[in-house]
Structure 1
Amino acid sequence: MTDRDGDGEWAGDPDRAEEWLTIGTFASRSRLSAKALRLYDRLGLLSPARVDPVSGYRFYRPAQVERARLVALLRQLDMPLATVKEIVALDDTRAAEAVQAYWTGVEERVAAQRTLVHFLRGRLSGRSSEMYEKFEIRTMEVPEQFVLCETRHTLAGDLPAFIGESLGRLEKAAQECGGIAATPFVAYHAEVTQESDGPVESCVPVADGAAARAWAGHQGRAVTARTEPARRLAYTRISKAQVVYPQIIAAYEAVERWIADQGLTIDGPCREVYFADWDTIGPDDEACDIAYPIG
């Protein structure tokens, strides 16, 4: 008995032929192409129930159709294959939660991209000055201070997690070093984007420099203790909502433009000074200073 739907012949007991679907029939029922099914087989995402050892033809069980249709639907969400593989392995309740978590991430990314489009339209249409005018630029004198620091090369997507986790670790350690002596900050020694990984340095000023050196000496190369020289900073204060990319880029550029207009020069890495409790403030509350050392 033969069936030339798709890849070729039936092989096996004719009395049990209804238990097997050729790749062509299965593709039609599952709403996936034969090419996609071969790819999913290679990835271990959706393998045939049997492969004929002689012909190499793939055969599927009717019970596999539901899983295949789920894969097809998830792929319509532009979901990466690795994520699809994780979700189809879950029970229905956890799979539903995973789909919601994935889509929440998509919506957050689209919202950020929509804001970036607005930012780019303003820049490309010559309205950059309007975007900068909403930022008030001030200056401050910061005295010499001793800081505990943690440095890492990180891309933009992992930056928020690193900032929160590293400052948390350093602030806890500061309790063993005389306490936190001034506002924590994050210094950028090079660009941090989706392609450029810094490095970034989280810094917490402490009261006891000797204790800080001793603590840092037991933490590995990423953690250091050093003297931060006295600096004059040009800065603008932004809300929690404005810390989100790309609004924060406009804040940086506003400070850069002010420095250039004043005939001053940038004298060190730019920084974000976090003076508020991030977990308790609202979107419109002041959260951070975007600052450049100036000379």
Structure 2
Amino acid sequence: MTEEGVVREELLTIGAFAARARLSAKALRLYDRLGLLAPAYVDEVSGYRYYRAEQVERARLVALLRQLDMPLGRVAEVLGAEGPEAAERLAGYWADVEARVAGQRTLAEYLRGRLSGRSSEMYEKFVVGIVDVPARVVITESRHTLADELPAWIGASLGRLEEAARECGGVAGAPFVVYHSEVSTESDGPTESCVPVADEAAAREWAARVGRAWESAVRVEPAVRLAYTRITKAQVAHPQILAAFEAVEQWVAAEGLEVAGPCREVYFADWEAAGAQDPVCDVAFPVRSASRP
């Protein structure tokens, strides 16, 4: 018998291996194509795949990870690590899953309230007021971003802008974020982070130097009247913040006013130092008197 024949006698056909690993032949071909589980030998003439018995453990591991709904890319990351590192990557993935489920659970409760006609009860906890904000110079950073990317981007962009404000006469007001279009899991904005600064000339020099790198700009924000409600750090999370925006919209309509621009979040507190129940943010809409027909 040839050496190749001996090798093939020691290997399992894809059918036998699939049965032992409790995977389909179709799944094995996919895992091979993605580099997750390559055959030990492929016949050059027939194209038949053969596997070693010791590969069963890896195949079963892939199957178990997939039962966690782990994307194939993340499976590859876990398999590419060893020992504690592999376990840490699995733990990181599962933490992401639990965070997503917790958010979905909260969203489901919110939607139950809306569908059952209890929306007014959700809005009653938000106290809405009016504030007039004078014109000011702002430095900005813009980006198209989906909802799951938004918190990290807001923190990073406002951090960069507050650092840049040192070159522009210093921060001259509470940072804020403007939503020029819907931001959700399917719609990506755009969103604009803004920091008021004291020196317009210096701000324009800064924007000319770094504008392309961060999609940054400087502009004069006109005086605006805002209808707003103040929320806690816990309420900033989605979907609680949706109820806050809707409460403001409902109040605006009840007061005979009109929304006059895109909604915004105004951050007036130290986010890192604030506790879950500490007020940190105003959600607001620019408003004006309703136009008469």
Match of 2:96 in 1: 105
Stretch of structure 1 that moved more, 20-29 or 139-148: 20-29
Q: Return the alpha-carbon distance in structure 2 between the equivalents of residues 246 and 18 of structure 1.
A: 60
Deviation at 1:281, TM superposition (A): 1.0
Q: Return the alpha-carbon distance in structure 1 between the equivalents of residues 271 and 51 of structure 2.
A: 53
Query: Which secondary structure state, in structure 1, belongs to the residue aligned with residue 246 of structure 2?
Result: helix
In the alignment, is residue 13 of structure 1 matched against residue 5 of structure 2? yes
Letter in 1 for 2:49: R
168, 189, 205: which one aligns with 1:198: 189
Match of 1:8 in 2: none
Residues 59-138 of structure 1 mapped to structure 2, 5 A cutoff? 59-138=50-129
Deviation track 1:50-105 (CA, whole Å, cap 9, x = no partner) reads: 11111111001122111111101100100001110111011111110000000000
Q: Return the alpha-carbon distance in structure 1 between the equivalents of residues 264 and 232 of structure 2.
A: 16
Match of 1:255 in 2: 248
Residues 107-256 of structure 1 mapped to structure 2, 5 A cutoff? 107-221=98-212, 222-256=215-249
Q: Return the alpha-carbon distance in structure 2 between the equivalents of residues 220 and 60 of structure 1.
A: 56
Deviation track 1:186-241 (CA, whole Å, cap 9, x = no partner) reads: 00111111221111110000011110010011112411111111111110111111
Match of 2:269 in 1: 276
RMSD in angstroms over aligned alpha carbons? 1.4
Deviation at 1:13, TM superposition (A): 2.3
Q: Return the alpha-carbon distance in structure 2 between the equivalents of residues 111 and 32 of structure 1.
A: 31
TM normalised by structure 2 equals 0.94
Runs of 4 or more above 6 Å deviation: none
Q: Return the alpha-carbon distance in structure 1 between the equivalents of residues 286 and 201 of structure 2.
A: 26
Letter in 1 for 2:5: D
Query: Which secondary structure state, in structure 1, belongs to the residue aligned with residue 259 of structure 2?
Result: coil
2:165–2:195 CA contact under 8 A, matched in 1:
yes
Q: Return the alpha-carbon distance in structure 2 between the equivalents of residues 95 and 115 of structure 1.
A: 31
Deviation at 1:157, TM superposition (A): 1.4
Q: Return the alpha-carbon distance in structure 1 between the equivalents of residues 248 and 202 of structure 2.
A: 36
Deviation at 1:24, TM superposition (A): 1.4
278, 288, 292: which one aligns with 1:285: 278
Q: Return the alpha-carbon distance in structure 2 between the equivalents of residues 282 and 117 of structure 1.
A: 25
Q: Return the alpha-carbon distance in structure 2 between the equivalents of residues 160 and 170 of structure 1.
A: 16
TM normalised by structure 1 equals 0.94
Q: Return the alpha-carbon distance in structure 1 between the equivalents of residues 22 and 130 of structure 2.
A: 63
Q: What are structure 1's unaligned runs of at least 5 residues?
A: 2-10
Query: Which secondary structure state, in structure 1, belongs to the residue aligned with residue 114 of structure 2?
Result: helix
Deviation track 1:127-171 (CA, whole Å, cap 9, x = no partner) reads: 100001011101111111110011111111111111011100000
In the alignment, is residue 294 of structure 1 matched against residue 280 of structure 2? no
Number of residues of Structure 1 aligned to a counterpart in Structure 2: 285
Q: Return the alpha-carbon distance in structure 1 between the equivalents of residues 17 and 273 of structure 2.
A: 54
Counting aligned pairs with the same residue, the percent is 66
Deviation at 1:272, TM superposition (A): 0.2
Q: What are structure 2's unaligned runs of at least 5 residues?
A: 289-293
Deviation at 1:19, TM superposition (A): 2.7
2:18–2:25 CA contact under 8 A, matched in 1:
yes
2:8–2:50 CA contact under 8 A, matched in 1:
no
Q: Return the alpha-carbon distance in structure 2 between the equivalents of residues 245 and 180 of structure 1.
A: 28
Residues 50-61 of structure 1 mapped to structure 2, 5 A cutoff? 50-61=41-52
Deviation at 1:17, TM superposition (A): 4.9
Q: Return the alpha-carbon distance in structure 2 between the equivalents of residues 78 and 179 of structure 1.
A: 48
Q: Return the alpha-carbon distance in structure 2 between the equivalents of residues 235 and 186 of structure 1.
A: 14
Match of 1:31 in 2: 22
